[in-house]
Amino acid sequence: MDPNQKEHGFDDLVKLATHLPDYQIILWGIEGRQTVASELEHFNPEGSKFIGLFYQNKHYEFVSHTVGPKASRFCFKCSKFADANHWKKCDARCKRCGTFDCAPGNAKIHCDDCNINFKSKKCFDAHLIPTTSNALPYCQKYFYCKKCSLIDRTDKYRGDPHVCGAKSFCHTCLEKIGVGHECSFKVPTEEEKNKKREAQKFSKYIVYDVETVTVESGEYAGHVERGPKHQPNLICCQMFCTECYGGDCTTCKKPWDYSDEDPEERLRIENDEEKEVEDNNDDDEYYDFNAIFE
């Protein structure tokens, strides 16, 4: 690639990907009337490093993570995309000492405190030291139970006592469970009942409805969720409380609505604005591309 070249295009990106085989390069962009960025190209999927690019208005911008209901980031330690809880299950982290530079060997060093065996002196020493200043050492986080032959979190780390044989957590009973668990809802305490009753004495509600239209939607042939934006042409809203139920009080408001009185005039103005943006494309302010991916 010529460093003196003022502009670089897709062909240059292909050359860059070929020159950097150890880098995963993902290119995102918004095509046509899409409202959500989609993956356009993925180079070197087996690479251990990562470069993210977003293409918009003939510009390539660097981005660090993906979009979606569960946005993820690239872990440079295990070379995978993962969510915010990835630090708990990263494959590059040693499960016994919690470090990323552990060197397992053929030794068998037993710890009398956590009852776990370690395969090297380095791993054994590391599990006694906290990985951060405000964390517990792994020796105080995990232990091996001789009765059920499971490695589990300690009472100090989890906050609850160990249950032998329990491998999963019941979100109904709110406790660790084992095989043959009979699920049942937890009976609320009298304090919890009174708290709910108190909260139900006064409530506020907001009811709304939005009617929208799409412009030239018949021309779009891609994914429905990435189709043209919906333009509201009627919005109705009503707020009421359990005291007056929509009457005249300090909490409730009168119903209000917004309607698109002249849609043809609005479309004409929008089209003129879009044309003006295209004519002055070089003077556009850059998007906050990373914000798009939040």
Average pLDDT over residues 47-73: 76
Question: In this predicted structure, what is the pLDDT of residue 207?
Answer: 85
Question: In this predicted structure, what is the pLDDT of residue 194?
Answer: 92
Average pLDDT over residues 266-273: 70
Tens-digit pLDDT profile for residues 163-198: 888 878 888 877 778 777 788 777 888 999 999 888
Dihedral, CA atoms, 152, 155, 161, 164, nearest 10 degrees?
A: 20
Question: In this predicted structure, what is the pLDDT of residue 294?
Answer: 42
Which of the listed ranges 168-177, 256-265, 278-287 does the model predict with the highest average pLDDT? 168-177
Distance CA 70, CA 143 (A): 32
Long-range contacts of 234-237 (CB under 8 A, 24+ apart): 234/209, 234/210, 234/258, 234/259, 234/260, 235/208, 235/209, 235/210, 235/211, 235/259, 236/208, 236/209, 237/206, 237/207, 237/208
Sheet holding 231-241, edge to edge: 204-213, 231-241, 253-259
C-beta separation of 232 from 258 below 8 A: yes
Phi, psi of 254 (to 5 degrees): -70, 150
pTM given for the model? 0.49
Tens-digit pLDDT profile for residues 93-134: 998 999 998 988 888 999 999 999 999 999 999 999 998 888
Range in 25-39, 193-207, 267-281 the model is least confident about: 267-281
Whether the per-residue pLDDT at 24 is higher than 80: the answer is yes
Whether the per-residue pLDDT at 290 is higher than 60: the answer is no
Question: In this predicted structure, what is the pLDDT of residue 10?
Answer: 86
State the pLDDT confidence band at 140, using cuts at 50, 70 and 90. Answer: very high
To which residue do tokens 């429905």 refer?
A: 224
Alpha carbon of residue 140 to chain centroid: 30
To which residue do tokens 């070089």 refer?
A: 282
Residue ranges per structural domain of the chain: 10-82, 96-177, 201-273
Distance CA 151, CA 142 (A): 7
- Cα distances (Å, whole numbers) of residue 271 to 33, 265, 275: 14, 10, 6
Handedness of CA 129, 135, 140, 143 (dihedral sign): negative
Amino acid at the residue 215:
V
Collapsing DSSP to helix, strand or coil, 19 comes out as helix
Tens-digit pLDDT profile for residues 213-246: 776 555 555 555 556 667 777 888 888 888 877 7
Q: Which residue has the higher pLDDT, 37 or 70?
A: 37
Question: In this predicted structure, what is the pLDDT of residue 235?
Answer: 85
Q: Which residue has the higher pLDDT, 203 or 275?
A: 203
CA R_g for the chain: 29
Task: Work out whether strand 49-56 and strand 59-63 pair parallel, antiparallel, or are unpaired.
Answer: antiparallel
Angle, alpha carbons 242-248-249 (nearest 5°): 60
Question: In this predicted structure, what is the pLDDT of residue 143?
Answer: 93
Distance CA 30, CA 9 (A): 17
Question: In this predicted structure, what is the pLDDT of residue 8?
Answer: 79
